[in-house]
Amino acid sequence: QVIKCKAAVMWEANKPFSIEEVEVAPPKAHEVRIKIVATGICRSDDHVITGGMVMPFPIILGHEAAGVVESVGQGVTSIKPGDKVIPLFVPQCGECSSCLSTKGNLCSKNDIGSAAGFMPDGTCRFTCKGKAIHHFIGTSTFTEYTVVHEFAVAKIDSAAPLEKVCLIGCGFSTGYGAAVQTAKVEPGSTCVIFGLGGVGLSVVMGCKAAGASRIIAVDINSDKFAKAKELGATDCVNPTDFKKPIHEVLIEMTGNGVHYSFEVIGRTETMAAALACCHYNYGVSVIVGVPPAAQKITFDPMLLFTGRTWKGSVFGGWKSKDSVPKLVADYMKKKFVLDPLITHTLPFTKINEGFDLLRTGK
């Protein structure tokens, strides 16, 4: 039956979250209802609030979480009530061209590009004050209970600490995968990472795990440098310390530019700088930050003509349903750490304070 619970509803853009009682409908065929135990705050959620990522309102945001299955709809065989799970904002249907290719991971059933704000059948499972509330990229985790499609959830190790592995639902996997999967960073290479939030720090960890010999961390907030060094950065650069453009600074530091660059902010200026600072002939630059809506990028095509590669990476290039349980298993085997990525732990009702901490770079 319908569950009544608390959720953080975003009624309109540029307003605080409103903690409301919502009704969460039971799962339909091939759907799963999850009790959310822990959820992270990601800049992509904030992009919706500020209009950088266009989604319909009212909406329940959140996409980086872990929880326990409460009930399943008809036809669900891979997951049962009581299972520990991570919702997947990049689903894996197993049937579309991306799922069938070894080269791709952006399942066509995703709701990132279309931004419809519905379940795959075109309806909502949330109601508040008699109004239908939209879903966010198939996950909607800023609520005590959510409903996701069976292809948008991964069953994980029952011993995993949910308040840590929730980060594998987005931030950690996105950054770490951009380095080890999308860029395929090689031992001995030089890397630069623009932006040292949770995702950027995860790129640093990925570059280190891949054996990069030099990892340059770039941010306009020097408070981020200590943690970047703790996780593997060899150099830290604040662009505001220089009179010249940052790509020129980086080329001077490295001689010929870096082998791999990562833009983990979501700004067109830094995307262009990341491309320009990588090696003129065989440098690879990866866009990891969500690009702002309605903004175009202008660059000199000679940057690409000489041989550079420009790539994008969604969810670190991982096939979500296959990879998330393996990443959780790797975390349990201590192959990587997640604690340094967690700066604060707040009760759900303080979600607005959490976003204030995000916006002030804390």
Among candidate residues 5, 18, 30, 47, the one labeled active-site is 47
Among candidate residues 124, 170, 277, 278, the one labeled active-site is 170
Q: Which amino acid is at 270?
A: T
Closest Cα partner for 171 from 141, 145, 126, 213? 141
Helices and strands: H and E segment counts in the chain: 11, 15
3-9 vs 18-24, strand pairing mode: antiparallel
Q: 170 catalytic, yes or no? A: yes
Backbone angles phi, psi at 342, to 5 degrees: -100, 110
Among candidate residues 5, 18, 30, 44, the one labeled active-site is 44
CB 48 within 8 A of CB 17: no
Q: 279 catalytic, yes or no? A: no
**DSSP reduced 3-state for 104:** coil
Q: 149 catalytic, yes or no? A: no
| CB-CB neighbours of 195 under 10 Å | 26
CA distance 213 to 231: 13
CA distance 143 to 63: 11
Q: Alpha helix locations (H) across the chain?
A: 43-50, 97-100, 162-165, 171-177, 198-209, 225-230, 246-254, 268-276, 302-305, 320-332, 351-359
| CB-CB neighbours of 123 under 10 Å | 11
Q: 278 catalytic, yes or no? A: no
Q: Residue 262 is inside which H or E element, if any? A: strand 260-263
Q: 42 catalytic, yes or no? A: yes
Question: Catalytic amino acids?
Answer: 42, 44, 47, 63, 170
